[in-house]
A and B are shown apart, each in its own frame.
Chain A
């Protein structure tokens, strides 16, 4: 590759797709690259996970869903040219999922209710640790609709179920009651067990 070629590639990368930032390459979603190539520069912001991985997201997407990020952008504490938003309590895997959720809901908000619900159900098809991490992240970032979704899922794990079943679902191995207390409870509310 000639000197000129490398320079023009660098410029192309810099302007449209991938920014080299402090040595790291900022990740881009394929759709954004396509849109960028089509000549539509979307305003992006950068989120940094606890593992110091940087994610670039459409500003509009995050501002629509996360109250915390919306406030940061509005009060001007985020400078587009340089800064990134550090999210020290969210790991990369979870952050990527959160971004997926927000992006899907922004781009597909006109879809019919059934399709959106099916996507949400698939989205939450994760193990217990994954659900916990998503809950903490959504709580921290104050993403109302994701929180409601997760609350609804957890609520359904409790509603109408027997105590033994709930203990199994949530891995409550030691109920912490004295044997007398547990026996008393079982006697008083037999239909709950």
Chain B
């Protein structure tokens, strides 16, 4: 107390200084640390925090968010488990934005940027948002969402004339009209990003797109659904600032595409249904390309090689395994700046893809030796060896995110188990934060799981598929992984009690998802991990009908899931019939 009276300016000065400094601290982990110093700093952080990501929307209530951070300008909310992207989660599982949007529209005066990922968004929510935020809404991202229609979008584009980012990639949208785009064309002059890539929207007028291009001089990124590229000639001519384009399709004769103007700054491409014959049209500006998405292109291995060798500035590549080992070799030789590489799984049938279209240890080794800047690598391989993993551990020192999936195509994978390769990889790649390993029976022993536990010091997220031999492996893993916050497991034959023990032992674990495990007749063994604030939910085995390869209805049996997570909000109440919550402390015992 005496100190304060003798130096009255001391505390206030440091506060002022701190108030100036704190806005520059943006990393959420740093902010967390700041808020723990003292109550004054806690409140300062609360007032000045600009963005919050709620990694799982059921971890807290909107009111709790309001009490903690009332002045946020930007929010990102994630709903359904990641498995929803693979069609493994029932559509009505949950993740409704309604309660959030209600609170956002009532309070949160500074909020102008909304990012909802894998959530259910209804038209009413969009209407409310449009009414409440109107001209202040700047960013709306409906990322892999469902539940809304173009009517809801119309309300947004009609009322929010200052919207800069309208993003709906991979969302499921009920289409009633193309009016929403027309409204955008009529009123907006500040649009920077427009994205309805991988949606089924078709009532979209390219006159409107042209108009948007003419009016919005800062339009930098446009990704659309399927539409004939030739119809976009006017659009391409008008967008002078465009850097990113995705979507479109090539239905006409190849030489006609010569006349399509190429915006001068275009360096990010995702051309759907791009074929061999249209490819040469990309060559003239290929040296500018920084990011390219060939996931939905129709290129074979040779085409990949021809394109990639012309892209020395390539930093991000996404494609299917049709790239093959040969394509990876070309990539390693030509693209020294490569930071992110994602190689997805092509069709299973041999006839549908190029014969060369397999990725094996050969491709990985050339990649590791050639692309030393790699930070993100996700790859579906047909064959793999320990040596290739060791090689990656030796060379790819900047790797933060590594995901390897071993496909079922090749029955005999000679160099299993991958214990020592995985050990070497983890020991070599110190920066690794995210790690996924999806193998098969015999792919990784319990010792291998122990290595994972021992050497993943910084890993925060892990996906394990078909690894291990017994519960001992899981327990060995759970003794390590000090920073593991989110664990997903699929197809591993661990028992419920092992899963529960692991959940208790993993020091940082806050989210657990498991599908495919040794179930008991009830799930009582899981209750061993019951504790306050830890919600446990089950999705029991169910029959699921979805569209097959030819569009025919296919019924499959979906094995049971366990989902467990920390929450300050108590047990959720909006679960459908397919979800059974097991609450740690029963309120009606």
Q: Do A and B come from one complex?
A: no
A interface, CB within 8 angstroms of B: none
B binding-site residues for A, Cβ under 8 Å: none
